[in-house]
Amino acid sequence: MAPAATAAPVVDLSTEELDWIQMRKDFSGVHAETTKEKMARKINENPLVPIGCAATLTALGFGLWNFRQGRSQMSQYMMRARILAQGFTVIALIIGVGMTYGSKEPAAKK
C-alpha cells in the first residue's frame, strides 16, 4: 500500500505577525548602533563624565586601600576626594545633558 500524501498544514497568520514581517523588511537597511558605538559616541559628546567616574573610582580604591593599611588620616582625605569627584561627575552630567538638549532643534509644530 502506498503512503498517503499529506497536505501542508494550514497556518493562520494574524495581522500582528504580518505587520512584524513587513516592519523587518522596511528597516532592513537601517544600521542599529552597537553598545560599543553608543559608548564611544557618548564619551565624545561629554568626555568629562568618564573622567569624573575614573577619578571617583580612583579616590575610592585608594581610600579603601589606605583604610586597610591603617592610615586613617589619608583614608579620610581620599573619602573627601571621592565626594568631590562624585560632585564633579554629577555637575558634568547635568551640563552635558543641558548642552545636548540645548543643541537639538525644537520639533516643528503642525
- C-alpha angle 93/38/32, rounded to 5°? 145
Query: Mean pLDDT, the chain, as a whole number?
Result: 83
Residue 17, number of CB atoms within 10 A of its CB = 11
Q: How confident is the model at residue 1 (pLDDT cuts 50, 70, 90)?
A: low
Domain extent for 81: 74-109
pTM of the predicted protein model? 0.62
| Residue 32, in any domain of the structure | no
| Residue 91, in any domain of the structure | yes
d(CA 36, CA 29): 20
| Residue 34, in any domain of the structure | no
Look at residue 16 in the predicted model and tell me its pLDDT: 67
The 10 Å CB-count burial string (b at 16+, else e) for 35-62 is eeeeeeeeeeebeebeebbebbeebbeb
9 or 61, which is more confident: 61
Considering its fold, how many domains does the chain have in total? 1
Look at residue 53 in the predicted model and tell me its pLDDT: 94
Q: Which residues contact 77 (CB under 8 A, 6 or more apart)?
A: 63
Dump pLDDT digits (tens) for 62-105. 999 999 999 999 999 999 999 999 999 999 999 988 888 877 76
**Rg of the chain in Å (alpha carbons):** 28
| Residue 99, in any domain of the structure | yes
| Residue 96, in any domain of the structure | yes
| Residue 12, in any domain of the structure | no
| Residue 93, in any domain of the structure | yes
